[in-house]
Amino acid sequence: MKNSRYTVFFIPEDSPKRYQFSVTKKSILLGIGAFCLLTLVFFIVVIHYAFIQDMAWENLNLRQENQKLSAELKELSGETKRLAEALNRVEVFKNKIKLIANINDSDRNLSIGPVGDVNRENIINLPSLEDLSYLNNSTKMMRLSVLRTRIELLSGEFEAAEQDFNEIQKYFEERKEILRSTPAKWPCYGWVTSEFGFRYDPFTGEKTFHKGIDIATSIGIPVLAPADGVVVSTGFHSGLGNEIVIDHGFGIVTSYGHLNDMKVKVGDKVVRGQAIGTVGNSGRSTGPHLHYEVIINGINVNPRKYIIE
């Protein structure tokens, strides 16, 4: 096909000169094609740049959301753990109070449970959340939901515990005398070196039943009455050395052995926290300590079950 040529003239208004240039039809088509191609490339670049920018903003938002979720997860996890630990302490304290007050009232749904740490693994059983970088956001959202549910469960537990405490408070108001007579205080400061129950006798090596607990400490440390009562016995015994026995009423009796000296006599009334003697090493003893017994209705029981302070 013949390649046509076109001539374009430019004539200025204030000049007799004229300017012209010729261009072929093929050149015009090539120019139009090049312009269209450049326009297309320009739009592609602009769209791609906008897409990249959008992805960058999205990634930034995702990172910020990820950091926020991680922080919230750690906070909720810590709060859940603190709630569980607090509830454990409440349960232990509540059960000890029930035990020392001898609460077992089925009519009001009060009963003695086990004294010790309450197992909350059914409520709190989470892996360490120190490093959450391996989790995606959907997993974190799921864990957040689980944690919130567990916190709600713990809140319900606290409400139930509060109701129990209200019942206990009401019960105690009716039984103040029993509470004042209950040996709820440590008789002295020191370290428990021998627990209540079967043990190997330090002198004979034979397995014997230890009727109390041994609290090792320095000679001269004050021994305090753990509850109100009346002194019913003071004296020296070959086994327990200098011993004091206090009757607290309601079938509760406490005994204190291996004393250095005794500050009370038979018939004295004592109150909780009053010094009744000092720690010693008298009698059959391997070192300075206090032998402490709690007897309920003639039967020796573990003193730890009654100590709450």
Q: What is the pLDDT of residues 99-158, one digit of tens each?
A: 655 555 444 343 333 334 444 444 444 444 444 444 556 666 676 677 677 777 777 777
Domain count, the chain: 3
- Report d(CA 246, CA 259) in Å as an integer: 14
Give the pairing type, strands 252-262 and 275-279.
Answer: antiparallel
Angle, helices 25-100 vs 137-174, to 10°: value is: 20
Is 185 contained in some domain? no
State the residue range of the domain holding 87. 70-180
Q: What kind and span of H or E run contains 207?
A: strand 207-210
Q: Which of 15, 34, 62 is the last residue of a domain?
A: 62
> From the centroid of its chain, how far is CA 229?
38
Mean pLDDT, range 150-173, rounded to an integer? 72
195 neighbors 215 (Cβ within 8 angstroms): no
Q: Tell me: do 201 and 302 sit in the same domain.
A: yes
Of 84, 79, 75, 78, nearest to 158 (Cα)?
Answer: 84
Average pLDDT of every residue of the chain? 78
Most confident of 31-35, 69-73, 264-268: 264-268
Residues 281-303: pLDDT tens digits? 998 888 899 999 999 999 999 99
Q: Tell me: do 141 and 79 sit in the same domain.
A: yes
Length of the chain: 309
- pLDDT score of 32: 84
pTM above threshold 0.95: no
Mean pLDDT, range 248-252, rounded to an integer? 92
When mean pLDDT is compared across 45-49, 99-103, 184-188, 210-214, the lowest value belongs to: 99-103
- pLDDT score of 219: 94
Is 30 contained in some domain? yes
Q: Which of 121, 149, 180 is the last residue of a domain?
A: 180
Taking CA atoms, 73 is separated from 62, 116, 130, 234, in Å, by 16, 30, 10, 61
- Report d(CA 20, CA 9) in Å as an integer: 4
